[in-house]
A and B are shown apart, each in its own frame.
Chain A
Amino acid sequence: MKTNPFALSMLKNRFVLSVLAIAIGLGTSFIIPSAEKSATVVGGYQATTCPALGGGYSSVELTNTTVGIRPVTPKSTKLILHHQTFRQLNNSPLYVDSTFGSAYTLTSQGGGGGVAAALCQPGSAEQWFVGGSGGLTSTGVLEMVNSGFSPSTVEIHPYSSAASLPPVTVKIPANSENRLRVDALVPGDELMALDVITRSGRVTSFLFDQRNKGLRSLGMDYAAGSAAPATHIVIPVGLNPSTQNGKVANSLRLLVPGPLDATVTMQIVSADGAFTPVGFDSRKVARGKVIQLPINNLILTSPFSVVIDSDRPVVAGLFTQTPYGDFAWGAATTPFTRMALNMAGLQPTLVLTGSQFRVSVQMVLANGKRTTRELTGDSFLTWNPGGAVKSLALYSEGSKPVYGGLLIRSANGFTYLPVQSNTTPTQTLLPVTDVHTLTR
């Protein structure tokens, strides 16, 4: 091989050699991957727990037949495969192993006794419930499910229409549940909100509201866990009082949990446009007291969403009561990115609220065929997938946040189901051994 004399002379040139040394070093530093601390991420879906309240016919609707489940009872520790997409509940909550899609509990009482639905939820450090009642007509229950194998401690901070009440601490043994009647937490008060804080353990809480007048049922529903207090909250779906629906009454329950009073503005967003009802513009709300404001004179042609803006963090819930003997609690949700659920023969109305949103809907029809639909909108959109849909998956594909909710109606009543991102895959950063842990 012939040596290039020019290259040789250049290498002998100390200037060139110096620059070359630095250039090689610099180049090497670029070639070597400079990623920060290597970390392994495992993806998956959080395991969830489904409530078993309300009596009547309750079932959990699963998104697939291969997911492991087990009742949350002290003796039941192993997951089983049910091979069906629904599981009828007895009196025990159900633990659903991690899987794509959201399971939910659907409860209905025949004879127009009401319909209730609640998304199965993963364990949570803190849950807000803005709903329920400690009044005489109410038989609400707070169900706290410890699906873990260690004992748990839960702290409940009740709020009434007068003030925040002393917290109640509850210990829940491993792999079991504890139920508290809400009239024991907020005795005699129609207006209440609960802040449930899990001090230890993997606990999921559910608030079930059931009302009777004498022997007549006034309906039932789960008051879904609300998003954490915020200055901008969205309750995605509300049943519209229309000329057809007759005397549907909506009211907004509000609580300012912080130390200062808040100024709140509420806006109704529907297919008819967005507006602020009278009395909801810059309304002063006292701190620490639960209030419920009727939304009067509301006539809309479509379901609606409620958007609340406040100068202090607030929590809110929408209470809808129909004259047919049922009611529903709408809770504030966070924007969703994806969700999948088994339709279980229902024909819900999907309500989407947001700014310039684009949502892709993938549907599996009853005949097994798959189809996709893209929903785009600005501000508000409702969509009904129709009766032939077996399951559907929603993917938010826009860059802006979009809030969603399902309005489920049946012969026995109606209920709301939030479209929530707890169905999105979770990523767990696997731990690393690091002696820094033992130092400052």
Chain B
Amino acid sequence: MAESMDDNFTVTAILVTHDGATWLPEVIAALTTQSRPVDRIFAVDTGSHDSSIKLLHASGIPFVEEARDMGYGDAIEHALALTPTVDESNEWLWLIHDDSAPARESLATLLAAIAERPQIAIAGPKVRGWHDRDHLLEVGISIAPTGGRYTGLERQEQDQGQHDEIRSVLAVSTAGMLVRRDVFEKLGGLDINLALFRDDVDFGWRAAVAGYGAICVPEAVIYHAEAAANERRAVDVSEAFLHRPLLLDRRNAAYVLLVNSSWWMLPWISAQLLITSSARAILNLLMKLPGYAGDEIAAVGLLLIHPAELIVARRQRKKLRLLAPRTVAPFIPSMWSQIRSAFDHLRETISERLHPQAEEAPVEAQTLGTPEGEIEEGDFTTPLVAPSILKNLIRKPQVVIAILIGIISLIAARNRFGFLSGGALVAAPASGMTLLRHYAASWHLIGEGSAAQMPPWIAFIGVSSIITAFNMKLLLSLIFIVAPGVTYLAVYRVLLRQGVQRNFGLIGAGIYVASPLLWGAINQGRIGTLLVLQLAPTLLSLNPLSRSITAAGTTWRKIFALSLLASVLFAFSPLLLAGWLFIQGFHFITELIENLSILRTGGFFSFMESDGSASLKRRLTLWVTPFFLLFPWSGSLLRHPTQFLLEPGIPTPSGNRWEIFFFNPGGQTTPPLWIASPFILFLIAALWIKQLRSYAVMASVAIGISLGLSQLRVVGHGSEGKVWTGPIIAIAMIVLLAPLLRYFQESLPHLRERGLGAGHIGSALLALVTALSLIATPIWVITSGANSLVRGGEFRVTPAFVSALTQTEEKPKTIILKSTQDSTSYFITRGEELQLGDPDAAIAMPVQILHAMDELIAGTGLTSSKVLGKYGIAYLVLRSPVSLNVARTIDGIGGFIRMSSTADGIVWKVIGASPRVLFTSRTGGIQTIPSLDISASGDVDRPGVITLAEKFDKNWHLLLDGTPIPVLENSDGLPTFTLPTGGHIELSHDGTKHRALISLQLLVLLVSVVMALPAGRRRKEVPIEELV
């Protein structure tokens, strides 16, 4: 077999086959036609079920058949046993997989390289793809501390000779590895614990610390199908639990790291392995690949259940180690390079998703700033002109306009920098985490306490604060400043998607942003309406309320994506949630009735296979998913339906019916009515133009509902006010905008050709009003519009000394009174200022307090102070400007001692106010139990009654020495616990049910997100051409 060689090497090629008939003919051909012939070829077949054995027979290669579950290392060992050494000093082994075909010059090139480098014991070729032969797979390999197989190459990197230098590497793939036989045997060959995968890296690592070098010789090429890794054939080795390649790969990666690393690095490596395995498992779950997720977790688990294996392997390596393990450090990628690489990968993926055309775009289109055709192909002398930012901006006028709007918004916001509050908006807490804690809490310290469910928008805003490093105040300021610009871009994009031309889109988005609704929402602190204005155009453009949702036209992914988007929107506008539930419910019932005949005639199973069933399932999902995503808050809305009519924040006065008729929500600090919104003319035009009347009907219904609800007064969120119908007006605006713009862009050219008529007059009027709106609104916004209800700067209503007292064990409460000529109002504070979400959780005060306050202000409440005191209200503050009549009445009523009278107001102390948690013994002795926000603990030495100065709720639990004591409501409406003996007490509000509901919500969210995300593909589902 061997011909006379120019070199002194003896090369024994060992080919291991396992169901590799697909690739084997080419592999054998490549092996036998090397320019430098192989001296000896021996094959091992590990129980192939295909025609591999026949092919080996036919090729004349000597081979041996082994068990199907034999690992690659074992197979090599068996082969070596059957091929005795022929040249002890210069014999080399060439390991070949049955799916890897070396190029004709490979062996010669490899031998030439090692001939010049006597210190080298391992050499490997450059590995390229089997199908795409320019696809560069490996130029040497290593392992990342996270267990990833590290090649140092980019994704889908094409071979253009960029790596064609011989380089030292940690290891090379066993597909094409040329290794000195004596070294191979001295090192114990491939680790038999690594039956498949990572045995190459492990061997390279062991060789490196034993003082042997490895190189990659890129001039030598091998084409590799990576059949096992790409799941093109079963992995049958005995170590492959459940025959899962990924599981084996991950397990072996962890094994390699744990047996080869320095002992002091093990904790760090273990931690990294655990974290990255968990992260990868989560990512796989999100990509709907639960099997892969399980592999990631099981891989670590498999190692942990066999620690002895690791210990033995480390002992064996120690015997052969001559150099410190740090020798391999240069080949191990740093953690930061891994993170950078992961981010690059993520960025590329997102970029491809967002701009799928970029990859397909012609080359000249990508040479930004260079006029087409200026550079001839192959002209490398003309310098490339760097893309000009200005030119780019001119090409994107929407960005220029958005920036301009941002500047206007910034000028308008000059009085509301810093801590925003006012109107419907209350101040944000310092951190977004506080909001998340509030969302998860079962008891809220607002008023006399509340077990109401916080709305999900609190959690949404809290999570969004990640972008400002959880700085809520900054986030809130940003939301209000950038809202107009962002809305402009969002609407512009939607308009283009709906077939509106660019110029009309620019104007249309401008009309939308110049609407009184948007600026009214900003000035009145209506964060919900701002979000609706930004998100609703996108949602409606996806047509979620369409009458037909076919299985062919609407994928499940789209259904869940729509549900998620709708849920975010509805979290900010329960009014729109009500509309959604009604319309989708109506569609569902209608479709169900239509499909009843199929159900009757064909039966249930026949119906389930029909198109109607597919549509119904999608409709049902679309109907209920937002509801469950917003659960348990949405459930509380069903229990208290009037709460559907409340916007986030405090009810704030809105406009009268005529303002709403003109698409102006009204209320304080909204643009005046004379800055007419062109939308009323749009509505009239849509009514006039026959083909737009369906849109006119939708908009009219929206405006009709808005008008009908606008004068309704609703109690909730700690106040009472008229229904804010801004979100419905927004829907009417969105419904009209795109169709009108499309109509005008089509009809305006024809208008020039026609004689003067109603069309001309109408168009001129519309243009005039639109121009007035676009010019007058920005002027108003930066002048009188800047004096909004929302103001910047910290605002404190509770006197500092009262706030300080809230940190004491008694946790006193304070009633803040405000008296004007028209009304006297009050609310209870715990000392801290009102924070975002607090009003939304506020519920009605106990009737006892209401009566006490009525009597106090009427001047007849001789017992008012006693009642207030029982509820733990220790102070009464009359805010400035002080009503002397009210002050005199309180002074005269008794039970209140005036403590101070300053420019900020008058403070009274309530005589005999109870602490928050009070123990009263049977003999009448009292003791204060120290309390925290929703818990208290202490010791009592005798029987008595614990009274909690909070609103009664059955979830207040008390344990007396571990024994639960039932909660009772006393005659004052306070929760009490009767203690039969003394002992240690633990009082808390039980949030188990609440937490369970939140967990359910998170589960629904997770499922929805997973369903909405693009599905990942198992490697075996990816066409092999795409992989290699």
Contacts and interface: CB of A to CB of B under 8 A. Distances in A.
Nearest to B790: A440
Contacts of A436: 650, 719, 818, 825, 827
Nearest to B818: A437
19 contacts: A18-B701, A22-B703, A25-B706, A32-B712, A148-B893, A149-B895, A431-B824, A431-B856, A433-B447, A435-B447, A435-B717, A435-B834, A436-B650, A437-B826, A437-B827, A438-B833, A439-B797, A440-B422, A440-B789
Contact of B893 (A15, A28, A150, A439): A150
B720 interface: yes
A150 B707 contact: no
B892 A19 contact: no
A28 B839 CA distance: 29
Interface of A: 14-15, 17-19, 21-26, 28-30, 32-35, 37-40, 42, 44, 47, 123-125, 147-153, 174, 198-203, 428-440
A18 B697 contact: yes
B973 interface: no
B850 interface: yes
Given A18-B687, A428-B857, A202 B891 contact: yes
A148 B817 contact: no
Contacts of A123: 888, 892
Interface in B684-702: 687, 693-694, 696-697, 699-701
Interface in B814-838: 816-818, 822-827, 829, 833-834, 838
B823 A39 contact: yes
Nearest to A148: B892
B657 interface: yes
Interface string B894-907: 11111001000010
B792 to A, nearest CB: 11
Contact of A44 (B823, B858, B893): B858
B708 A25 contact: yes
Contacts of B703: 21-22, 25
Given A14-B694, A14-B697, A21-B697, A435 B650 contact: yes
B889 A432 contact: no
B894 A431 contact: no
B823 A432 contact: yes
Contact of B858 (A14, A174, A430): A430
A38 B822 CA distance: 11
B693 A15 contact: yes
Interface of B: 421-422, 426, 447, 650, 656-657, 661, 683, 687, 693-694, 696-697, 699-701, 703-708, 710-713, 717-721, 789, 791, 795, 797, 816-818, 822-827, 829, 833-834, 838-839, 842, 844-845, 850, 853-854, 856-859, 862, 879, 884-885, 887-898, 901, 906, 908
Given A14-B696, A18-B697, A439 B426 contact: yes
A434 B650 CA distance: 9
B422 A429 contact: no
B719 A434 contact: yes
B707 A26 contact: yes
A125 B888 contact: yes
Contact of B825 (A29, A33, A202, A431): A431
B834 A438 contact: yes
Contacts of B426: 438-439
B816 A438 contact: yes
A239 to B, nearest CB: 35
Contacts of A124: 888
Given A148-B891, A150-B891, A433 B845 contact: yes
A434 to B, nearest CB: 4
A85 to B, nearest CB: 24
A25 B706 CA distance: 7
Nearest to B660: A29
B711 A34 contact: yes
A199 B891 CA distance: 10
Contacts of A432: 720, 823-826
Contacts of B720: 37-38, 432, 434
Contacts of B694: 14
B823 A37 contact: yes
Contacts of B829: 438
B827 A151 contact: no
User: What 8 A-B pairs are tightest by C-beta distance, nearest first?
Assistant: A149-B894, A148-B892, A202-B892, A435-B718, A25-B704, A25-B707, A28-B708, A18-B700
Given A151-B897, A430-B854, A32 B719 contact: no
Greatest chain B CB density within 10 A among A17, A203, A434 is at A434
Given A39-B823, A150-B894, A21 B701 contact: yes
Given A18-B701, A148-B888, A435-B719, 18 more contacts: A23-B704, A25-B708, A29-B657, A32-B711, A39-B822, A40-B854, A147-B892, A148-B893, A201-B898, A202-B889, A430-B857, A431-B817, A431-B823, A432-B720, A434-B826, A436-B827, A437-B818, A439-B797
A152 B908 CA distance: 12
A438 B693 contact: no
Contacts of B422: 439-440
Contacts of A38: 713, 720
Nearest to B842: A435
A22 B858 contact: no
Greatest chain B CB density within 10 A among A33, A38, A123, A432 is at A432
Contacts of A201: 888, 891-892, 898
B825 A149 contact: no
A24 B246 CA distance: 65
A125 B845 CA distance: 31
Nearest to B793: A440
Given A22-B703, A431-B824, A152 B421 contact: no
Given A29-B710, A29-B711, A174 B697 contact: no
B693 A14 contact: yes
